[in-house]
Amino acid sequence: MARISNKVVVVTGASSGIGRATALAFARQGATVVLAARRDAALHTAAEECLDVGGRAMVVPTDVTDQEQVNHLVRRAIEAFGGIDVWVNNAGVIAFGRFEETPAEMFEQVVRTNLMGTANGCRAVLPHFLDRAEGVIVNNASVVSTVGQRYASAYVASKFAVRGFSETLRQELVEEPGIQVCTVMPGSIDTPLWQHAANYTGRAVRPPGPVTPPEAVADAIVQLAVKPQREVFVGGAGRFAELQHAMAPGMAEAAAARLIEREMFENRPAPETDGALLHPIDDRHDASGGWMEPEARRRGVSWTNVALFLLPIALMSRPLHGVR
């Protein structure tokens, strides 16, 4: 971790959830952290926490869907600290609802934030990295960049695209060994993403178990900055889900659909809401969403248990000669 001290790290979506935990994780290692998100007050609170644990911090309110605002973020970081070493594209939003019941403009806003926000960040920082011939980009793509999830079509589409975009960028930078593009793929994480979600299902949502703390994702991102890798799963479900889907996709999709129906909803109604898609929400600024507290962590079957149960079946059901 000595390699992290004195590095300059930009984190988008840093006002809460994984982004906030990531900023704190870098600050604990002595890094200078530039925090970006739409919520100015929450960013300043997060910056104070970074200072308290030994890092340096600067706040630059930024909407990642606006390329000029992201360009400004890069300029401010370079002017203040002389350069950028690590860029974390983490800003993200989610909408829950059947595809046909999700408003088209909200579907587009999810893609605009998650995919175009990532592309805007890379477009802004890459010239700087190319000039220096070094730098690390970490894109947050989620476990649903490998398998689908019922009631989250826009989010899944955007995260599949982020993973593919990251792979393509690695190919384009193959002659630039000093510039690394990493993809982190968290599973179900205890963050306020769920409270900030748009919801058109009529039911209250919750993260399906097992729920992983945001600090685990933050630690993985810090490790990627130290020792870059192409892709890293965080949480117990990712590799199992990907493997069973590759071996028996029909069975895996049916099992995942039933599991989401059973695991992702509270036993109470919820009003329709656009959540934080268009405007930030003032509450829930912490890294944690409170889902790992005993009274909130009501889960039955876990993704890991389902994967372990289905894996032998998937192996036995594997089609011959590559025929699906």
Mean pLDDT, rounded, for 302-321:
43
Bridge partner residues of 199 (DSSP):
96, 273
Check 87, 107, 155, 233 and give the catalytic one: 155
Domain 8-322 classified CATH 1.10.3720.10? Answer: no
Pair of tokens at residue 230: 């192409």
140-194 per-position pLDDT tens digit: 999 999 999 999 999 999 999 999 999 999 999 999 999 999 999 999 999 999 9
Specify the higher pLDDT residue, 236 or 74: 74
pLDDT value, residue 242? 72
pTM for this prediction? 0.90
pLDDT value, residue 103? 98
**How far is the C-alpha of 147 from the C-alpha of 238, rounded, in Å?**
9
Phi first, then psi: give them for residue 302, nearest 5 degrees.
-100, 155
Q: Is the peptide bond before 210 cis (omega within 30 degrees of 0)?
A: yes
pLDDT value, residue 245? 73
pLDDT value, residue 236? 65
Catalytic status, residue 151: no
Mean pLDDT, rounded, for 11-29:
98
227-275 per-position pLDDT tens digit: 999 999 997 666 667 777 778 888 888 888 998 999 999 999 999 999 9
Taking the domains of the chain in order of start, what are their residue ranges? 8-322
Round the average pLDDT of the chain to a whole number and report it. Answer: 90
pLDDT value, residue 238? 66
pLDDT value, residue 87? 98
39-67 per-position pLDDT tens digit: 999 999 999 999 999 999 999 999 999 99
pLDDT value, residue 321? 38
pLDDT value, residue 256? 85
